[in-house]
Amino acid sequence: MKLSTDLKQAQGICLLAMILPCSAVVAAGAATTHYPSMAPIAQYLPASQADEVALARSAAPAAISKDAEILVLGPKGYETAVAGKSHFVCMVERAWAKNFDDADFWNPKVRAPHCFNPAARSVLSTYLKRTEWVLAGVSPKDMATRTQAAIRSHEMPPPDVGAMAYMMSKDGYLGDDVHGAWHPHLMFYLPRTDVGAWGANLKDSPIFGDDSWPEPVTVFFIPVEHWSDGTRAEAVAH
């Protein structure tokens, strides 16, 4: 699909990670990438556990991912495929990590490798809860209602101090508008924060920020020069 210059610039801010809520910005292209309902679960599962482990590890440089715990999606949810020797957790998110009204929410092609540091387990637990709801047949509308209830009851607290994740795989697929992995980057999770406090989203700033998630979190994205395998990535601009 060919994109206009303006839309590409918008995506430079929006398509930093698979869960950015950008449906309003890319509405012009959403109709061709819309998935109205969940596909059969088999379409979301990996071709093999080994493939999923390898893709999960590719989220971060080997020095980080080689000793990490690896989670793999199965018919009943994520399971530990590799116990790991460090406190990092690597896994591959599916499209239901996106905003509930995102056109790609049910896209079975989406694969987004992440490696979470120990402080980001609070963020990971939120995604695992969503996965539980998805496999139980809960609709996106009801997931949104449950999310708000969990926030009010403090079952979904803000992220812990120091929470971050690596997203440096060149082999992911973040959505039909990205057609690939976008750009290697680091993600920093904070409680609700003014993105301007980091100078995010300003012209020539190296930092992107998003504070419109349904959960109580603001995420800052910092592109890096190399993919996890050490090869150089193309420059990214606002």
Domain locations in the chain? 5-223
Going residue by residue through the chain (238 aa), what tens digit of pLDDT does each one get?
322 333 333 344 343 433 344 333 333 344 455 799 999 999 999 999 999 999 999 999 999 999 999 999 999 999 999 999 999 999 999 999 999 999 999 999 999 999 999 999 989 999 999 999 999 999 999 999 999 999 999 999 999 999 999 999 999 999 998 878 889 999 999 999 999 999 999 999 999 999 989 999 999 999 999 999 999 998 765 5
In DSSP notation, the chain reads: ----HHHHHHHHHHTTSTT---TTTTHHHHGGG---SPPPGGGTS-S-HHHHHHHHHTTS-HHHHTTSEEEEEETTEEEEEE--SSS-EEEEE-GGGS-TT-TTTT-TT-BEEEEE-GGGHHHHHHHHHHHHHHHTT--HHHHHHHHHHHHHTTSSPPPPTT-EEEE--SS-B--TTT-S----EEEEEESS--GGGGTTTSTT-S-EEE---SSS-EEEEEE-SB-TTSPBPPP---
Record the pTM.
0.85
